[in-house]
Amino acid sequence: MEAIIISKEQFDGLISKINEIHEKLNAKTAPKQEVFLDNEELIAMLKISRRTAQTWRDEGKISFSQVGSKIYYKLSDVEKTMQDHYNKSFAKK
């Protein structure tokens, strides 16, 4: 086994670089903050009517929060709903 000797300054520089890499990795893996859409943003995004949005809420097809008279949707819930109702194309024979 071969031993490598470095100076204190080199060691401190190495530790500093390791800490920088650690911070960058932690910044990239930090949990993504949830994005909320209001009813108007959902309607515009999905190009649906107010009535359709109301029906989806009434039927439990989409999760939502209500604060006073304002309706909000988690973007992740909207994406999950769309994915759950995704239909693949039929295979051609």
In this structure, of 26-30, 64-68, 81-85, the range with the lowest mean pLDDT score is: 26-30
Q: Which domain holds residue 62?
A: 36-84
In a domain, 56, yes or no: yes
In a domain, 71, yes or no: yes
The whole-number pLDDT of residue 73 equals 97
Q: Do the Cβ atoms of 76 and 34 come closer than 8 Å?
A: yes
Question: In the chain, how many domains are there?
Answer: 1
Q: Is residue 54 part of a domain?
A: yes
pLDDT of 8: 93
Residue 30 forms part of a structural domain? no
Q: What are the pLDDT digits (tens) for 26-58?
A: 877 666 788 999 999 999 999 999 999 999 999
Residue type at 64? F
For the chain, how many residues are written?
Answer: 93
Q: What is the pTM of this model?
A: 0.60
Q: Are 35 and 72 in contact (CB under 8 A)?
A: no
Q: What is the pLDDT of residue 24?
A: 86
